[in-house]
Amino acid sequence: MPRPGRNTYSDQKPPYSYISLTAMAIQSCPEKMLPLSEIYKFIMDRFPYYRENTQRWQNSLRHNLSFNDCFIKIPRRPDQPGKGSFWALHPNCGDMFENGSFLRRRKRFKVGSMQATDPLVPSKPQDAAHYLQQQAKLRLSALHAAAHLPQMPGGYNLSSVSQPSGFKHPFAIENIIAREYKMPGGLAAFSTTGYPLHNQLTPAWPHMYGSGMMDTAAPISMAASDYSAYGMPLKSICHGGQTLPAIPVPIKPTPASVPGLPGLPTHIPAFLANSPQSLSPTSPQTATGQSSPAAPGEALPSSASLQSAVAVH
DNA sequence: CAGTGTTTACAGGACA
DNA sequence: TGTCCTGTAAACACTG
């Protein structure tokens, strides 16, 4: 396991498998699905190690996408031209890494043999893709609606519409990082002195740092809502932005999920959502819900809000 | 033609 | 030690 340097081991290989990296990329996007090129971009933005030998690791990554059932290919629709499909995580693949290691999975995710995590989630890839696309539609509508919701006094407090259960997908960078906090020995320092998330994020995610998305006190603005957590305009991800599939997808529905809208919005990784300070192990990033910052991820409406939002549309 | 997606093969490491 | 997972390479087909 590579040991992070004092401030970074940016040029060393990250302690994540391609599956982890890909899952991170997908999870980091509020739409919970990304085209291959955006997955590449995410990894290269965040991990300088992968800015070299691109052909090698990108081939490996593509191999993983095709080979592993935990990734689902979601075809573009006619109104979203472009090359390649979107890739999403299978809704039931949530606990592959529950052994705490993101280098090696506890077990390989197989569609046929997987545990029925959620009866509402189709197990067949095609059905799952369709399911994800439907969820995406709902999410996009919700995002759109949320962006036009009237401002709450003192600003639109997104935490009030965030997932109440605080569920975090195991693939979320937030969880990956958090897990590493708990790791004894080497990786203990990883998250604090390891990847320079802040340093890398700052230039790479100007919209967050610049628009108040990362500012715990700043209300979410319309401008901010126009941008995904990916640091690029939602419109560009959504290819026109009106109907497109790219909406976040629930990985594991929460008990709070509304029937009919299983597990709707989940979250956005905290590293996208929180200020750099909150990456500290001692930071109260766990205080999600109440004082939770108006993070892009938390910006997703709750299931109930979603329903009404969708209904409005 | 470049990018994307699929498949096969093999080596190496982790784990039971 | 055998099995499983991961990483890598390569060939090939498809598509915009």
- CA A48 / C1′ C5 distance in Å: 25
The model's pLDDT over A35-50, given as tens digits with 9 standing for 90+, comes to 999 999 999 999 989 9
The model's pLDDT over A187-218, given as tens digits with 9 standing for 90+, comes to 333 333 333 333 333 333 333 333 333 333 33
Residues A21, A195: contact at Cβ < 8 Å? Answer: no
- CA A222 / C1′ C5 distance in Å: 45
- Looking at per-residue pLDDT, the higher value among A227 and A136 belongs to A136
Q: Which of residues 10-29 of A touch strand C (CB under 7 A)?
A: 16-19
Considering only CA atoms, name the residue closest to the C1' of nucleotide B13: A104
- pLDDT of A236 > 80? The answer is no
- CA A143 / C1′ B3 distance in Å: 31
A77 touches strand C (CB under 7 A): no
A37 touches strand B (CB under 7 A): yes
Average pLDDT over residues A273-291: 33
Predicted confidence at residue A154, as pLDDT, reads 34
Residues A156, A294: contact at Cβ < 8 Å? Answer: yes
CATH topology of domain A18-97: Arc Repressor Mutant, subunit A (1.10.10)
A35 touches strand B (CB under 7 A): yes
Predicted confidence at residue A64, as pLDDT, reads 93
- pLDDT of A89 > 80? The answer is yes
Considering only CA atoms, name the residue closest to the C1' of nucleotide B15: A106
- pLDDT of A167 > 60? The answer is no
A6 touches strand C (CB under 7 A): no
- Looking at per-residue pLDDT, the higher value among A172 and A149 belongs to A172
Q: Where are the domains of chain A?
A: 18-97
**What's the pTM?**
0.56
A50 touches strand C (CB under 7 A): no
Q: Hey, which of A29-38, A274-283, A301-310 has the most confident mean pLDDT?
A: A29-38
- CA A5 / C1′ C7 distance in Å: 24
Predicted confidence at residue A175, as pLDDT, reads 60
Dihedral, CA of residue A105, residue A107, residue A108 and residue A110, to nearest 10: -140
Confidence of residue A11 (pLDDT cuts 50, 70, 90): confident
A83 touches strand C (CB under 7 A): yes
The model's pLDDT over A110-147, given as tens digits with 9 standing for 90+, comes to 765 444 445 555 556 666 667 666 666 666 665 555 55
Considering only CA atoms, name the residue closest to the C1' of nucleotide C14: A84
Q: Which nucleotide is nearest to A84 (CA to C1')?
A: B4
A126 touches strand B (CB under 7 A): no
Q: Which of residues 59-78 of A touch strand B (CB under 7 A)?
A: 59, 62-63, 65-67, 73
